[in-house]
Structure 1
């Protein structure tokens, strides 16, 4: 295999790359041009030890944050890295299917590849998105390396591909099923184009790549976990394989509902119904049946499996995984969209082009709704933080040079008529997440410059929770008080889980 002239290195690639990044910039203009924090960023901004990623089994993310982007919570750069990586990954995929030149169909479908709304649920986290982009490029590189028929499984190229795949999984475990999805997509498109593709042989090579990458990931995980003592409760809490055997119908129903929402038939997942996506998928499948005289049923079956694979992990997580984990879904939808708009049947290609245009417009609507919610909640939180600190400065006994613990009861929710997807943090206030979390609130206020507020200790929470539960609710007078170097603020009527636990502890004593 001659790797000296690829889509990434041959002359004339710069213009397509610029064009693709311009499309990315349209889809993600707000992310590139603004800086609005999401939940968890207030903690990540103060993080000095990236080993939290090792505890989540994401040692690749640990390496990137430690050696490449030590402070990932920053404007522009993180989403720009994601964009550059999306472009690189797409060019590698185009080269893997021997697409020598990009036309309107390839450019238009790139909007799905990089901008399908499941991506939005992870793009909202600055601390994740650059690393995830690198992972996407890594799986594209892995599939590109094994895409040529003359590369034997025992070759150095294949071992490099396995290393790239393992590194991608170490960045985000959901890249494991994405390897299979992209491998199927490349195989289907190669066979459809007649570019010396062998369906069975290429699928076997993809499975070998998947297995080898999984082994590399597991070995690396064992090595990296041996150097940290941080608990792994967070990542382990997702896995409930026994639940499937106890409640198979419940899990099946949850998986079908997740698929329904992700592929545009549900309102709750994105806040709007992506009604143009299902017919686009149907036309893509129909294209495989109409365009190929042989192997069409096998190709269609493989393509349909690609739609299912992103939800495979749901089976061992009781049917519950956040939408941001579906990194394979954009690739699967891109495959069907690309098949449809490049159909040899003129009527199908025209209808598909119209549906693709509608889909892209609907995606932009979803993105703009999210941007509006983010903008409004950002203003709400900044004004609320300023109001709280202003009230605090007027409280008798306050000393701006003195450090205070912040003890909070209840939450102050942000109410908006814009969608607040349940699997997202968009539209949710720092003052409402976790039912009102003093660590998050104190960290957020520190980022805004209110530096003398700290999280309370467990003893301080127990000392103040009884009084907090009887105080007026913000913004009423008396809803903020100072007691023994502790700032007390009651944000809501309903106690958080931490408040309830504190009340139970003092009741036991």
Structure 2
């Protein structure tokens, strides 16, 4: 008898169950012996006077050097983390190698998704250290003068920890065994399913074939982007805010700015975005893919005209302003790619189709992609509108090749574009609300740009301000860019002339209306912002207008095409020249800050004969040090700005920058302690004079200018009252 009940084969049960049990136990054993299930002890501190500490562990052995881990202090969270290959009920933590005081706020131990807090009462002094000010959520430890090896005992519930590790090992082993056996039994079906053309996979392949997407085209576009922007690609320019991005371990700050796509990109793709080459390469790869979708959305093919227009698109100086911040680059690339695919999908909506069918699905997909783009950077919504209007305009010309005007399809496309826009904004708002519920944060930065009341109070004035800003940006004015590229205005003028020239006055009037909508769309947020000049990094849609202009002036034949090509090449050369000057400006500021940081650290080290580079030191900086460059420094840019000048003198930025480039033990006093020190700077000379750096009462004082920074200025305001 080989069965025990209907349809159950005892031999098959034995055949599969026994191997499953065996593999589960083997995999669990391997996991328990591997670092994968090593517990991790995290010690959260405050005012820790060193940059690293050591943890000793043992099991049936004594504490030895080989049974220890050294961890560097996480400057962002002031936390030490130690992996434990072995452990018993007691660990020995050697926090310092000398005297000093610090606070311990929390201790946790974790294994994969399991985390358990260790009560602070389980931290007891062992040697050359004592605990004081012990409270529920904090303990102060002090190593007295002359201490060389302070030690703290950490007591663990090691039996519970063992149980947790065994449970995880068995669960992971069982899941792995099931996966292996499933693959053995059904691998043919799995491969057939994964390799087969079904549903959307077949549709995507069909679209790629019909649209002639190719690796060769992508490679050329990527090469153009990298070549024309080779200086920022191969250099490492640290800008203001990069110092914070480099140390950031929690990207939820993007949620406060309403940029949940940026949060996801930094969380899962670029947890350390501040580095050379890779973020830029990722960005240009995304934009190359995006361009392949954009030209097809406008019913264009990739040839020399599209290639030259792409040169102008990707070399436009407006990209420099968003590329100044490494943290922005990857998510902006994802956002541009998402909106470009969204525009491509929108262009495939057939006017006149039943909205409950294919068109509705495409419009919904376009809205979802737009929401992803807005989540990367809110101003990309203007890019979407401009590109969508470009599709509408191109189709208007196709619909009206003769004197007979057909305006209804254009109205339908415009209405559909508006519908996808509203849908995309709605999806974005819903996801953003959910994200901000999960990560409550301050929205002050975004709210600073919302000035609807000013638009309502004086709409005429706001309109004049916005139109003036539009003219400056479209004409390549030095008032906006810091340097001129006048051929942009010439190209735009001829493109408008070519477009407005239609078969009838009515067609010309409608074309003028479309051109006006396209040109004003990049500045819609300026109206919401009360006419103030938004940062140039928010005006990325300008690059699309430059591309659109180039396509129009190049599509003519004969002498007009020759003229258009000369104009496009001239514009491209001027844009490259502008970017070259931006590169020089950034290089000068970067070099200045590095030399300044080196000189300051050298002077600080000489101010105290007992200076120890491994000991955390407290610094207070008075004033700021302006940096002037021969090269352009547009008002909303950081390219010619110094860390030692930003925010009218921000000591936290200065010292965080110094830590980033290697001077890791410099820290700023809190503002409450800095303000009373203001009189100590009165008789000090200004940097770099002798005496501009002084060591007093355990604090290094640095005076950069006679004019006080905002923090020290508070002392003078209080004194004068």
- Same fold per superposition (TM over 0.5): yes
Name the counterpart of 1:300: 512
How many angstroms does 1:71 deviate by? 1.0
Name the counterpart of 1:18: 219
Distance 1:348 1:291 in 2: 17
Name the counterpart of 1:161: 366
TM-score by length of 2: 0.67
Given that 1:89 and 1:141 are in contact with CA atoms closer than 8 Å, whether structure 2 keeps it comes out as yes
Name the counterpart of 1:362: 574
Given that 1:277 and 1:355 are in contact with CA atoms closer than 8 Å, whether structure 2 keeps it comes out as no
Given that 1:121 and 1:323 are in contact with CA atoms closer than 8 Å, whether structure 2 keeps it comes out as yes
How many angstroms does 1:168 deviate by? 0.6
The aligned runs of 1:63-462 (5 Å cut-off) are 63-99=264-300, 101-150=301-350, 153-154=355-356, 155-193=360-398, 198-290=409-501, 295-320=507-532, 321-344=534-557, 346-396=558-608, 397-462=610-675
Is the alpha carbon distance of 1:153 and 1:143 closer, same or farther for their aligned partners in structure 2, counting shifts above 3 Å?
A: farther
Distance 1:107 1:202 in 2: 27
Distance 1:95 1:266 in 2: 32
How many angstroms does 1:102 deviate by? 1.5
Given that 1:162 and 1:216 are in contact with CA atoms closer than 8 Å, whether structure 2 keeps it comes out as yes
How many angstroms does 1:51 deviate by? 1.1
How many angstroms does 1:243 deviate by? 1.7
Q: Structure 2 stretches of 5 or more lacking a match?
A: 1-199, 402-407
* Greater Cα radius of gyration, structure 1 or 2: 2
Is the alpha carbon distance of 1:81 and 1:263 closer, same or farther for their aligned partners in structure 2, counting shifts above 3 Å?
A: same
Is the alpha carbon distance of 1:353 and 1:469 closer, same or farther for their aligned partners in structure 2, counting shifts above 3 Å?
A: farther
Distance 2:583 2:289 in 1: 26
Is the alpha carbon distance of 1:411 and 1:91 closer, same or farther for their aligned partners in structure 2, counting shifts above 3 Å?
A: same
Q: The residue matched to 2:695 in structure 1 has which SS?
A: strand
Distance 1:466 1:361 in 2: 54
Given that 1:167 and 1:217 are in contact with CA atoms closer than 8 Å, whether structure 2 keeps it comes out as yes
Please identify, of 259-268 and 151-160, the stretch whose mean Cα deviation from structure 2 is larger: 151-160
Is the alpha carbon distance of 1:314 and 1:195 closer, same or farther for their aligned partners in structure 2, counting shifts above 3 Å?
A: same
How many angstroms does 1:107 deviate by? 0.5
Report which of the two has the higher share of helix: 1
Matched pairs, number = 506
Given that 2:485 and 2:574 are in contact with CA atoms closer than 8 Å, whether structure 1 keeps it comes out as yes
How many angstroms does 1:484 deviate by? 2.9
Give a deviation string over 1:39-59, Cα, whole Å, max 9, x none: 100111101111111111111
Name the counterpart of 1:468: 681
TM-score by length of 1: 0.94
How many angstroms does 1:275 deviate by? 0.7
How many angstroms does 1:283 deviate by? 1.2
Q: Which residue of the other structure, out of 252, 271, 280, is the alignment partner of 1:51?
A: 252
Q: The residue matched to 1:428 in structure 2 has which SS?
A: coil
Is the alpha carbon distance of 1:340 and 1:291 closer, same or farther for their aligned partners in structure 2, counting shifts above 3 Å?
A: farther
Distance 2:606 2:387 in 1: 59
Distance 2:383 2:622 in 1: 42
Report which of the two has the higher share of strand: 2
Distance 1:35 1:8 in 2: 40
Q: Structure 1 stretches of 5 or more lacking a match?
A: none
Is the alpha carbon distance of 1:502 and 1:327 closer, same or farther for their aligned partners in structure 2, counting shifts above 3 Å?
A: farther
Given that 1:6 and 1:95 are in contact with CA atoms closer than 8 Å, whether structure 2 keeps it comes out as no
Distance 1:122 1:316 in 2: 21
Which structure is richer in relative contact order (CA contacts within 8 A, separation 6 or more)?
1
Give a deviation string over 1:283-333, Cα, whole Å, max 9, x none: 111222336668343233212211111111111212221111112111122
Q: The residue matched to 1:430 in structure 2 has which SS?
A: coil
Q: The residue matched to 1:81 in structure 2 has which SS?
A: helix
Given that 1:255 and 1:311 are in contact with CA atoms closer than 8 Å, whether structure 2 keeps it comes out as yes
